[in-house]
Amino acid sequence: MLQLYGQEFTSRMLLGTAQYSSPDILRQAVEASGAEIVTVSLRRESARARTGQAFWGLIEELGCRVLPNTAGCHTAKEAMATAQMARELFGTSWVKLEVIANADTLQPDLFGLVEAATVLSAEGFDVLPYTTEDLSAAERLLAAGCSVLMPWASPIGSARGLINKTALQSMRAYFPDTPLIIDAGIGSPSHAAEAMELGYDAVLLNTAVAKADDPVKMARAFAQAIEAGRLAFEAGLVEPRDMASPSTPVAGTPFFKIDHAS
């Protein structure tokens, strides 16, 4: 069971709601994924003049918990203002906090992120920060009041998967009791399964599902991969070896010599 800020969820897949070809495809993808949490960009959707109200209606119909995000914010001040508007609009203290440093890589601004997280946590927000695998930034975010961390696998929308697997393993080992959610860069179900096998608690997806030829099938594939990866982690993976290890031991095994002459 996934536990975030005192709430329990059966699904370990969080799904973004941007870039789908139609509201109906979005609805089907969410249903196929089994996701219980969907992310919504307040800045993006508020800019959609004619379709905005229909979109909000669809989100309500899905019955999922809404996780507003501050996508598109490049300063702590912008992110804090957006989070405050989202709390009023959605009636939730949850916020996926994004403060972007670089327009090309969409890498988080770790300094602005810690600044905004500190203020928002003090104001009663439950902050889920989009961060990197940097351990010092993670420590500062936890000290700021965050109880969940969301490190990237690789840049948003890049579909490159876990480009720094060793650092992500270190982060998992360094914060064994903190819920860690892989956010950004996941391109295939195998990437998601790999993240879960490392012991991560959940995976947040958007582009890999929304831009697939068949988003509904892809959502189902990711859901199954995430479940498989989690089961593998809980079962205990065999450690890699440098040398071969026979599956059938030969020590003490009787060998019978056939005498063809007789």
Any binding-site annotation on 145?
no
The closest of 232, 168, 202 to 8, measured between CA atoms, is 202
Q: Give the orientation angle of helix 110-122 with respect to helix 76-90, to 10 degrees.
A: 40
Is 217 assigned a catalytic role? no
Check if the beta carbon of residue 182 is closer than 8 Å to that of residue 200. Answer: yes
Any binding-site annotation on 206?
yes
Check if the beta carbon of residue 194 is closer than 8 Å to that of residue 172. Answer: no
Any binding-site annotation on 32?
no
Q: Which of 77, 96, 211, 217 is catalytic?
A: 96
DSSP 225: H
Give residue for tokens 């959610």: 181
The closest of 126, 123, 124, 175 to 151, measured between CA atoms, is 175
Any binding-site annotation on 63?
no
Any binding-site annotation on 102?
no
Burial 228-259 (b: 16+ CB within 10 A, else e): ebbeebeeeeeeeeeeeeeeeeeeeeeeeeee
Q: For the chain, give me the number of helices (H) and strands (E)? A: 10, 10
Q: Which residue numbers are catalytic?
A: 96
Give the residue numbers of the binding site for 1-deoxy-D-xylulose 5-phosphate. 157, 184-185, 206-207
Q: What are the binding residues?
A: 157, 184-185, 206-207
